[in-house]
C-alpha cells in the first residue's frame, strides 16, 4: 500500500487562542497505480493533508504510512520519503530560483546525492516528460510563460522520480487551452506508471480523470469512492459548496422528469447514450 | 440601446521594446449598463485592453473615450480612473492597508473627499458586498473571495460608472468565484454599473449580455454568449472552451435529435429534452 | 512555524490608555523617557515605576507581558549593572577579592543604571502594547506633518510603514509555502554548517524576492487605479482628534514630572 492514513487528526497551534483543527480523524488508502482526486475548499484541510504524505507535517507514530514506513517515527529518513512521494504545490512556478531551467530541475536530484551523469540524464528526461523543448534547458526560468514555468516546476519534482506524485490544483489560473494541456500532462504522467493524487476544485476534471475521490469538508472526509458513487450525493455536495459535473446535474433533472437515467451517471458519453436510449425506445 | 459609455475606435497599444502590438486596431462600443465578458487565451491582449480602459496605459494610436473623457493629460487619467474602477486578479496584491474599512476608504482619500462623506460611502460599499461585519478585520485573516469583495467595495465607494474585473475570479475557489461574480452581476442589474468582465471561465461568460473574444490583440469573435459559443470549432481553436451543455447538444444533434441551436444551461437542455419525450 | 511570530506586540483592548490619541501616547512616552532621565534618585524611580504599573494595570495587560519584553535586553541590563559595579571605584569599600573591588557607590550606581534602563524599556513597551501599529503610523504622520515644509517626506514614510505592515503576514505566508515546496524537493534548512545553511537559504530567498517585486509592481498599479497620487490633496476617513482624556493624560504626565523634580530635591534617597 503506497499511502495509508489511519485516523489522522491535525491541530494547529494547540493550546493557544489560535488553535484550529485542520484535520479530524481522516483515514484514506491509496493503492499502486491509482489516480486519486481530493476535493475540498480553501480551508477544508486538503493542504494539511497532502503535507502529511511526505512528512512536511508530522503526525503521531502509527498514523501515516508510505510504502509501509511509519512517517510518525522520529528516526524515519525524510529524504528517502521525499524521494518516493513528490509534492507539487499550488502555483509551483513561484518556487523557481535557479539561473537556468536545467539547474532548477537538478535541484531535487542533487539533494538526493546522485552523481552528475545521473542528474543530467534525469533532467533531460524530465524536460521531455513535461513537454518542454530541449532548448529551454539553458534559458532562465523567469523568461518563460506562466504555463511553461509551471511545467519546469513539475519537471523539478519528476526528476526525483517519485513513485507517487501529489499535485495541488495543477491547472489553477491557466487559460482553458492551458488547463486542457496541463491535465493531459498529468494523465500522461499517470500513464507512465506513477501513482497520482490530484487536489482540485473542479468536479469536471476529477470526474474525467480519477479512479477514486475523497471529498474533504471542514477537516473531515465527507464522501469517498468512485466518481459515480460520490456524485450520487449531488445535493449534499451542493450544500457544502461543491458542484457535480453539468452532465450529472442534467441526469438528475431528467430523472426527476421521468427519464430512466442510471444513478451516479456523469460522463457526457454515458449521459448522451442514456438520453438516446430513452428517446429511441432502447435502440 | 443606451448611449455608449466606452467607445474604442481603432485602438492600438504597443509596449516599449515589444515586437508587435499587444492591442491591435480594436474597435468596440459598450453601452451604459451592459455586462460584457472578454475572453481570450493568455497573451491575447485582454489585460492590456483593461489597463487602457482604466487609463493605466494610453493608446499608442486610435481613440478611446471612457465616460465621455478621452485621456490625454495626467488629470484626464485621474478623471477616467474615477469613473472606471478596476478589480485585479491577485486578491493579495491590491489591498493597501491593514484594516478592511481603511482600505475601502483609500480611493476616496486620494480624491480628497471630506471625512464624513468617506465614512458614509465606505459603510455603504461594505454593506453592498456583504462585508460590514469585517469592517475592522485585518485583510490577512480573510479568504481570497472575501479579499476580492473588499477590493470591489474599495472601487464601489468611489461610485464608478464602470467596473473592469481583470480575471478577478481566477485565483478563487468555487464559492469565492460564485460570490464575486454574483456581486458583479447584481451591481450591474440593480445599480446599472457597466461591467467589463475578463475571465477564463466559460460558465461566467455564458451569463454575460455580450461576449468579446480577443486573439493576438484583435477582436476575433463578438456577440451574445449563444452566438459566440455556437461557433464551437472556432471557439476551441481560439484556445477557449464552450459550456458542457453546448457540447452535449451538438452530440445529440449529430445523433439525429431535433434540438434547437444555442442551448447553454442545464435548465434549457432539460426543458428541451422533456419536450421531446 | 514562521507564522507564529507576532510583530509589534500590540495587545488589543478598550482601556482609557488604548483610547488615547496615538499622538498623545507618542508624546507622553517621550515625556516619560525624559522624566526617567530627570530623576536623580531611587525615590523618583519608585514613583515612576508606580505610575507605569498603574497605567499597565488599567489597560488589563498582564505583568508577564511587560516582563517578557525585557527578555531580549536582559543581557544588556546585566552588562550595564556589572560594568558599573566593578568600575565605579568611589565610596566605601564593601567587598574586595583579588582585583575585584565593590564599593557602596558602585553598587548604588549600578542599580541606578539598571533600573533606569528597565524603566525606559517598560515605558516604551506600554506604548507599543496599547497602540496598534497602524494608529502609531497615523500618529507619527500627523506629528511630522509640519516638517513637510522643509520637505520631510512624512506621508511617504507613513505610507511605506503601513504597506510594510500590511505585507508582512503575506510574505511570511509565502516564505512558509516556498520553504515547504523546497523541502519537498529534498532541501535541508535545519542542519549543516553555518556556510551550508546560508547557502541553503538561496532557494528560499530568491523566489521570495522575486515574489515581493511582483507584488510591489501589482500593488503600485492597483494604487494608481484608485487615483493615488501622493500625499498632496489627500484626506483621511479617520481624523485624529484630541479629547478630554488626552488633556488628562497630559496633566498626569506634568504632575509626575513635578513630583519627580520635587523628589530630586527633597526625596529621602
**Which 9-68 residues of chain A touch chain C by CB within 8 A?**
13, 51, 54, 56
CB-based contact B59:B217 (threshold 8 Å): no
User: Is the model's pLDDT at C3 over the cut of 70?
Assistant: no
CB-based contact A185:A131 (threshold 8 Å): yes
Instruction: Select the residue of A13, A111, A142 nearest C185 (Cβ to Cβ).
Output: A111
Set of chain A residues whose Cβ sits within 8 Å of the Cβ of B239: 175-178
Q: Which of A45, A250, A271, A282 to mutate to test the interface with B (most CBs of B within 10 A)?
A: A250
Flag if C186 and A56 touch (Cβ within 8 Å). Answer: no
Residue A230: per-residue pLDDT: 94
Flag if C222 and B98 touch (Cβ within 8 Å). Answer: no
Residue A17: per-residue pLDDT: 67
Q: Does B271 touch chain A (CB under 8 A)?
A: no
Q: How far apart are CA B57 and CA B42, in angstroms?
A: 19
A95-120 in b/e form (b: 16+ CB < 10 A) is bbbbeebbbbbbbbbbbbebeeeebe
* Alpha-carbon distance A241 to nearest alpha carbon in chain C (angstroms): 26
Flag if C234 and B112 touch (Cβ within 8 Å). Answer: yes
Q: Does B164 touch chain A (CB under 8 A)?
A: no
Phi (first) and psi of residue A253, to 5 degrees:
-60, -40
CB-based contact C175:C204 (threshold 8 Å): yes
User: Is the model's pLDDT at C2 over the cut of 70?
Assistant: no
Flag if C207 and A92 touch (Cβ within 8 Å). Answer: no
C-alpha cell at C7: 510583530
Instruction: Select the residue of A42, A145, A172 nearest B143 (Cβ to Cβ).
Output: A42
Flag if B115 and C218 touch (Cβ within 8 Å). Answer: no
Residue B115: per-residue pLDDT: 93
Flag if A254 and B173 touch (Cβ within 8 Å). Answer: no
- Residue C146 carries which DSSP code? G
ipTM reported for the complex, 2 dp? 0.91
Instruction: Select the residue of C177, C187, C207 nearest A111 (Cβ to Cβ).
Output: C187
Residue A182: per-residue pLDDT: 95
Q: Does C229 touch chain B (CB under 8 A)?
A: yes
Flag if A279 and B257 touch (Cβ within 8 Å). Answer: yes
Q: What is the pLDDT along chain B (277 residues), one digit of tens a residue?
A: 568 999 999 999 999 988 899 999 999 999 999 999 999 998 899 999 999 999 999 999 999 999 999 999 989 999 999 999 999 999 999 999 888 999 999 999 999 999 999 999 999 999 999 999 999 888 888 999 999 999 999 999 999 999 999 999 999 988 899 999 999 999 999 999 999 999 999 989 999 999 999 999 999 999 999 999 999 889 999 999 998 899 999 899 998 888 988 888 899 999 999 988 7
Flag if B81 and C222 touch (Cβ within 8 Å). Answer: no
Residue B12: per-residue pLDDT: 96
Please state which architecture CATH assigns to domain A3-227. 3-Layer(aba) Sandwich (3.40)
Residue B2: per-residue pLDDT: 66
Q: How far apart are CA A24 and CA A27, in angstroms?
A: 9
The mean-pLDDT minimum among A12-16, A74-78, C122-126, C224-228 falls in: A12-16
Q: List the single residue in B with minimal CA-CA distance to A266.
A: B244
**Which 107-166 residues of chain A touch chain B by CB within 8 A?**
145-147
Q: How far apart are CA A53 and CA A35, in angstroms?
A: 15
Higher per-residue pLDDT: A127 or C16: A127
By DSSP bridging, strand B69-70 and strand A220-225 are unpaired
Cα–Cα separations (whole angstroms), residue C250 to B134, C212, C234, C262, C268: 34, 42, 30, 18, 27
Q: How far apart are CA C194 and CA C172, in angstroms?
A: 23
**Which 36-65 residues of chain C touch chain B by CB within 8 A?**
none
Q: Does A253 touch chain B (CB under 8 A)?
A: yes
What percent of chain C lies above the pLDDT cut of 90?
37
| Through-space distance between the first and last CA atoms of chain C, rounded to whole angstroms | 49
CB-based contact C57:C85 (threshold 8 Å): no
User: Is the model's pLDDT at C6 over the cut of 50?
Assistant: no
Set of chain B residues whose Cβ sits within 8 Å of the Cβ of C226: 81, 85, 106-107, 110, 154-155, 158
Set of chain C residues whose Cβ sits within 8 Å of the Cβ of A79: 186, 188
Flag if C239 and B115 touch (Cβ within 8 Å). Answer: yes
Q: List the single residue in B with minimal CA-CA distance to A177.
A: B239
Q: Does A86 touch chain C (CB under 8 A)?
A: yes
C-alpha cell at B183: 456581486
C-alpha cell at A211: 479512479
Closest CA to B211 of B203, B223, B199, B195: B223
DSSP string, A135-152: GGGGS-GGGS-HHHHHHH
For chain B, the chains sharing at least 3 beta-carbon pairs closer than 8 angstroms are A, C
Flag if B98 and C228 touch (Cβ within 8 Å). Answer: no
Determine the Cα angle at B219 with ends B214 and B221, to 5°. Answer: 85
pLDDT category of residue C99 using cuts at 50, 70 and 90:
confident
Flag if C237 and B109 touch (Cβ within 8 Å). Answer: yes
User: Is the model's pLDDT at C239 over the cut of 50?
Assistant: yes
Flag if C186 and A157 touch (Cβ within 8 Å). Answer: no
CB-based contact C13:C233 (threshold 8 Å): no
* Alpha-carbon distance B252 to nearest alpha carbon in chain A (angstroms): 7
* Alpha-carbon distance A98 to nearest alpha carbon in chain C (angstroms): 8
Q: Which of A201, A274, A275, A283 to mutate to test the interface with B (most CBs of B within 10 A)?
A: A275
Flag if A157 and C203 touch (Cβ within 8 Å). Answer: no
Name the residue ranges covered by the structural domains of chain A: 3-227
Q: List the single residue in C with minimal CA-CA distance to B153.
A: C226
Q: List the single residue in B with minimal CA-CA distance to C230.
A: B110
Domains identified in chain B and CATH numbers: 4-225 (3.40.50.300)
Q: What is the mean pLDDT of residues C160-168?
A: 88
Q: What is the mean pLDDT of residues C10-31?
A: 88
Set of chain A residues whose Cβ sits within 8 Å of the Cβ of B42: 145-147, 174-175, 178
Give chain C's mean pLDDT. 86
Q: In chain B, how long is the greatest CA-to-CA distance?
A: 67
Flag if A108 and C211 touch (Cβ within 8 Å). Answer: no
Closest CA to B56 of B35, B78, B36, B39: B78
CB-based contact A230:A243 (threshold 8 Å): no
Determine the Cα angle at A42 with ends A37 and A44, to 5°. Answer: 70
Flag if A250 and B266 touch (Cβ within 8 Å). Answer: yes
The count of residues in chain C is 269
Name residues of chain A where pLDDT drops below 50. Answer: 282-283
Closest CA to B172 of B182, B163, B162: B182
Q: List the single residue in C with minimal CA-CA distance to A155.
A: C185
Q: What is the mean pLDDT of residues C25-48?
A: 92
Q: List the single residue in A with minimal CA-CA distance to B256.
A: A276
Residue A281: per-residue pLDDT: 67
pLDDT category of residue C7 using cuts at 50, 70 and 90:
very low
Instruction: Select the residue of A146, A178, A268 nearest B247 (Cβ to Cβ).
Output: A268
Q: List the single residue in B with minimal CA-CA distance to C174.
A: B92
Set of chain A residues whose Cβ sits within 8 Å of the Cβ of B273: 254, 257, 259, 275, 279
Q: Which residues pair with B195 in a beta bridge?
A: B35, B163
User: Is the model's pLDDT at C168 over the cut of 90?
Assistant: no
Set of chain C residues whose Cβ sits within 8 Å of the Cβ of A108: 185-186
Instruction: Select the residue of C173, C219, C235 nearest B112 (Cβ to Cβ).
Output: C235
Sheet containing strand B162-166, edge to edge, reads: B84-87, B162-166, B194-198, B35-39, B210-215, B218-223
Residue C4: per-residue pLDDT: 37
C-alpha cell at C214: 511582483
Set of chain C residues whose Cβ sits within 8 Å of the Cβ of A96: 207
Set of chain A residues whose Cβ sits within 8 Å of the Cβ of B41: 175-178
Amino acid at each position: 500500500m503506497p499511502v495509508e492514513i489511519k485516523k489522522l487528526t491535525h491541530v494547529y497551534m494547540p493550546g493557544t487562542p489560535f488553535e484550529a483543527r485542520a484535520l479530524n480523524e481522516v483515514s484514506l488508502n491509496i493503492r499502486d497505480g491509482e489516480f486519486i482526486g481530493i476535493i475540498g475548499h480553501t480551508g477544508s484541510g486538503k493542504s494539511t493533508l497532502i503535507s502529511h504524505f511526505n512528512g512536511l507535517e508530522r503526525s503521531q507514530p502509527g498514523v501515516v504510512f508510505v510504502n509501509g514506513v511509519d512517517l510518525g517515527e522520529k528516526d524515519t529518513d525524510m529524504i528517502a520519503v521525499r524521494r518516493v512521494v513528490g509534492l507539487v504545490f499550488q502555483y509551483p512556478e513561484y518556487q523557481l530560483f535557479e539561473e537556468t531551467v536545467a539547474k532548477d530541475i537538478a535541484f531535487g536530484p542533487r539533494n538526493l546525492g546522485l552523481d552528475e551523469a545521473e542528474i543530467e540524464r534525469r533532467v533531460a528526461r524530465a524536460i521531455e516528460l513535461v513537454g518542454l523543448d530541449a532548448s529551454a534547458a539553458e534559458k532562465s526560468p523567469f523568461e518563460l510563460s506562466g504555463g511553461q514555468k509551471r511545467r519546469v516546476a513539475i519537471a523539478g519534482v519528476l526528476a526525483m522520480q517519485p513513485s507517487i506524485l501529489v499535485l495541488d490544483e495543477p491547472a489553477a489560473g491557466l487559460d482553458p487551452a492551458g488547463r486542457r494541456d496541463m491535465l493531459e500532462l498529468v494523465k500522461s504522467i499517470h500513464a507512465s506508471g506513477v501513482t497520482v493524487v490530484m487536489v482540485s476544485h473542479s468536479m469536471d476534471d476529477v470526474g474525467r480523470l480519477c479512479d477514486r475521490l475523497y471529498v474533504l469538508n471542514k477537516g473531515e472526509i465527507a464522501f469517498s469512492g468512485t466518481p459515480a458513487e460520490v456524485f450520487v450525493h449531488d445535493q449534499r455536495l451542493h450544500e457544502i459548496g461543491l458542484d457535480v459535473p453539468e452532465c450529472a446535474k442534467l441526469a438528475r433533472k431528467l430523472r426527476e422528469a421521468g427519464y430512466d437515467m442510471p444513478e451516479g451517471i456523469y460522463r457526457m458519453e454515458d449521459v448522451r447514450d442514456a438520453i438516446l436510449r430513452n428517446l429511441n425506445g432502447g435502440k | 440601446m443606451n448611449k455608449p459609455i466606452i467607445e474604442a475606435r481603432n485602438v492600438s497599444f504597443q509596449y516599449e521594446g515589444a515586437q508587435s502590438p499587444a492591442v491591435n486596431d480594436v474597435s468596440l462600443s459598450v453601452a451604459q449598463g451592459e455586462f460584457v465578458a472578454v475572453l481570450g487565451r493568455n497573451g491575447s491582449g485582454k489585460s492590456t485592453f483593461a489597463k487602457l480602459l482604466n487609463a493605466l496605459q494610453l493608446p499608442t494610436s486610435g481613440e478611446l473615450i471612457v465616460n465621455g473623457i478621452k485621456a490625454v493629460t495626467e488629470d484626464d487619467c485621474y478623471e477616467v480612473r474615477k469613473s472606471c474602477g478596476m478589480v485585479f486578479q491577485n486578491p493579495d496584491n491590491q489591498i493597501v492597508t491593514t484594516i478592511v474599512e481603511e482600505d475601502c476608504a483609500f480611493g476616496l482619500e486620494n480624491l480628497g473627499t471630506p471625512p464624513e462623506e468617506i465614512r458614509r460611502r465606505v459603510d455603504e460599499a461594505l454593506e453592498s458586498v456583504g462585508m460590514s461585519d469585517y469592517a475592522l478585520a485585518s485583510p490577512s485573516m480573510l479568504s481570497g473571495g472575501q479579499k476580492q469583495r473588499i477590493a470591489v467595495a474599495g472601487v464601489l465607494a468611489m461610485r464608478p460608472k464602470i467596473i473592469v474585473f481583470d480575471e478577478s475570479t481566477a485565483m478563487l475557489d468555487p464559492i469565492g468565484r460564485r460570490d464575486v461574480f454574483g456581486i458583479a452581476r447584481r451591481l450591474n442589474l440593480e445599480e446599472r454599473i457597466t461591467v467589463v468582465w475578463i475571465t477564463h471561465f466559460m460558465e461566467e461568460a455564458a451569463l454575460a449580455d455580450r461576449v468579446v473574444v480577443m486573439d493576438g490583440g484583435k477582436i476575433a469573435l463578438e456577440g451574445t454568449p449563444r452566438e459566440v459559443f455556437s461557433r464551437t470549432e472556432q471557439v476551441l481553436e481560439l484556445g477557449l472552451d464552450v459550456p458542457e451543455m453546448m457540447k452535449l447538444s451538438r452530440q445529440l444533434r449529430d445523433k439525429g435529435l431535433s434540438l434547437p441551436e444555442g442551448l447553454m444551461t442545464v435548465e434549457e437542455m432539460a426543458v428541451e429534452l422533456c419536450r421531446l419525450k | 512555524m514562521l507564522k507564529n511570530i507576532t510583530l509589534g506586540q500590540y495587545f488589543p483592548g478598550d482601556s482609557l490608555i488604548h483610547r488615547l490619541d496615538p499622538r498623545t501616547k507618542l508624546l507622553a512616552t517621550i515625556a516619560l523617557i525624559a522624566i526617567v532621565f530627570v530623576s536623580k534618585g531611587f525615590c523618583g524611580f519608585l514613583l515612576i515605576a508606580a505610575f507605569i504599573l498603574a497605567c499597565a494595570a488599567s489597560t488589563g495587560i498582564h505583568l508577564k507581558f511587560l516582563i517578557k519584553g525585557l527578555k531580549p535586553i536582559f543581557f544588556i541590563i546585566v552588562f550595564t549593572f556589572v560594568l558599573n559595579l566593578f568600575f565605579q571605584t568611589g565610596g566605601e569599600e564593601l567587598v574586595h577579592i583579588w582585583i575585584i573591588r565593590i564599593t557602596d557607590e558602585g553598587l548604588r550606581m549600578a542599580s541606578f543604571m539598571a533600573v533606569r534602563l528597565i524603566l525606559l524599556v517598560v515605558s516604551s513597551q506600554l506604548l507599543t502594547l496599547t497602540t496598534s501599529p497602524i494608529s502609531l503610523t497615523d500618529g507619527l504622520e500627523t506629528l511630522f506633518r509640519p516638517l513637510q515644509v522643509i520637505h520631510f517626506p512624512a506621508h511617504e514614510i507613513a505610507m511605506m510603514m503601513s504597506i510594510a505592515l500590511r505585507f508582512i503576514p503575506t510574505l511570511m505566508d509565502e516564505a512558509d509555502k516556498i520553504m515547504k515546496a523546497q523541502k519537498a524537493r529534498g532541501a535541508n534548512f535545519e542542519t549543516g554548517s553555518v556556510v551550508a545553511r546560508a547557502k541553503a537559504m538561496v532557494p528560499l530567498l530568491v523566489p521570495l524576492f522575486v515574489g515581493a517585486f511582483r507584488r510591489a509592481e501589482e500593488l503600485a498599479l492597483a494604487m494608481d487605479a484608485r487615483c493615488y497620487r501622493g500625499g498632496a490633496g489627500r484626506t483621511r476617513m479617520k481624523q485624529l482628534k484630541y479629547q478630554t482624556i488626552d488633556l488628562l493624560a497630559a496633566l498626569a504626565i506634568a504632575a509626575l514630572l513635578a513630583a519627580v523634580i520635587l523628589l530630586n530635591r527633597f526625596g529621602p534617597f
